[in-house]
Amino acid sequence: MAMKTGKVTVNRGTFNVRDRGNKDGFPLVMLHGWPESSYCWETIEPYIDKSLRIIAPDLRGLGESERTLDVKAYQKLELAKDMIEVIDALGIKDFFLVGHDWGGIVAQELTLIIHERVKKLALMNIPVITNAKGEKDAQRALAAMRFMPMWYQYFQQQPGLAEGMIKGNEDVWVRYFFGRKGKDGTIPGEAIAEYVRCYRIENTPATAAYYYRAMRLDAPHWAELAGKKFTMPALYIYGEEEIVIVKENLNHLEDCFDSIKIERLKAGHFIQEEKPREVAALLNEFFRG
């Protein structure tokens, strides 16, 4: 059964939100990555503890949230402020938080702003923005690969290139990133079709690319955060078949949290869609504990 969807309009814009609807449940906010939408949590939803109320917004420029043609709006600190306004508009005070891919970066930024409200934090397949030592190790590992796994990021950072080449080719573009596991059905075909549909919404090749173009604006801010610790209990789930977030990104993670548990699964980047039962079991154990 699909989660309910609806639009939430706040001062910063209009955002699409999926909601499990059990308003007596403790809020669990789940933030998706690129090139996905909040639909990525539909596969895992049936396995998440029924005492939790899943709230899954579409980030700006993706899914069915608004397309803003301004790169500054896609700084991850700004995207976190978007999500705080949405959470506040839903009347939520304290909550658990999960973030995957860019949603994991936004989750970290959000947590650093309102750390007293985030009771537990779970991250999946994304660097930790305060982990400067781990980032140095990861950059050395990627340099040995001539940064080939990062090609799509450099492509989208070029002015006008994504807009000129992706429009009309959204199906090929989106499906490429799900690879063999998209072709063999490990990742549900209906999920990928939904991401293609959303990518065809006007201006999405640009707004999706802004996530990468904004990295030059994010970098000075992240440098200032080096060494800062997350104080709430944390869980990091890593897909060991990942090729972009290399295993070196996990080096020194313990230095970035007061308390963190690291779990590894035989999966690729889209871990919650590839292994929904296994990921849900880890999340359920973490949140219950």
Helix/strand/coil for 102: helix
Query: Which residue's structure tokens are 């993670």?
Result: 253
Give which of 123, 148, 97 is closest to 238, Cα–Cα: 123
Q: Give the model's pLDDT for residue 146.
A: 95
Q: How many domains does the chain have?
A: 1
State the residue for tokens 């700084």.
Answer: 75
The pLDDT assigned to 2 comes to 77
Q: CB–CB of 277/42 below 8 Å?
A: no
- pLDDT, residue 197, reads 98
From the CA atom positions of the chain, what is the Rg in Å? 18
Check which CATH number belongs to the domain holding 40 and give it.
3.40.50.1820
Q: How far apart are the first and last CA of the chain?
A: 27
pLDDT tens across 157-169, in order?
Answer: 999 999 999 999 9
In this structure, are residues 60 and 210 in contact, taking their beta carbons and an 8 Å threshold?
A: no
Beta carbons of 231 and 106 less than 8 angstroms apart: no
Phi, psi of 14 (to 5 degrees): -115, 130
Which helix (H) or strand (E) segment is 31 a member of? strand 26-31
Question: Which range of residues forms the domain containing residue 159?
Answer: 4-288
pLDDT tens, the chain, 289 aa long: 579 999 999 999 999 999 999 999 999 999 999 999 999 999 999 999 999 999 999 999 999 999 999 999 999 999 999 999 999 999 999 999 999 999 999 999 999 999 999 999 999 999 999 999 999 999 999 999 999 999 999 999 999 999 999 999 999 999 999 999 999 999 999 999 999 999 999 999 999 999 999 999 999 999 999 999 999 999 999 999 999 999 999 999 999 999 999 999 999 999 999 999 999 999 999 999 7
121 SS3 class:
strand
Q: Is 236 helix (H, G, I), strand (E, B) or coil?
A: strand
Residues 6, 64: Cα–Cα separation, whole Å: 10
pLDDT recorded at residue 105:
98
Residue 76 · residue 218 · CB < 8 Å = yes
Q: What pLDDT score does 91 carry?
A: 97
| pLDDT recorded at residue 71 | 98
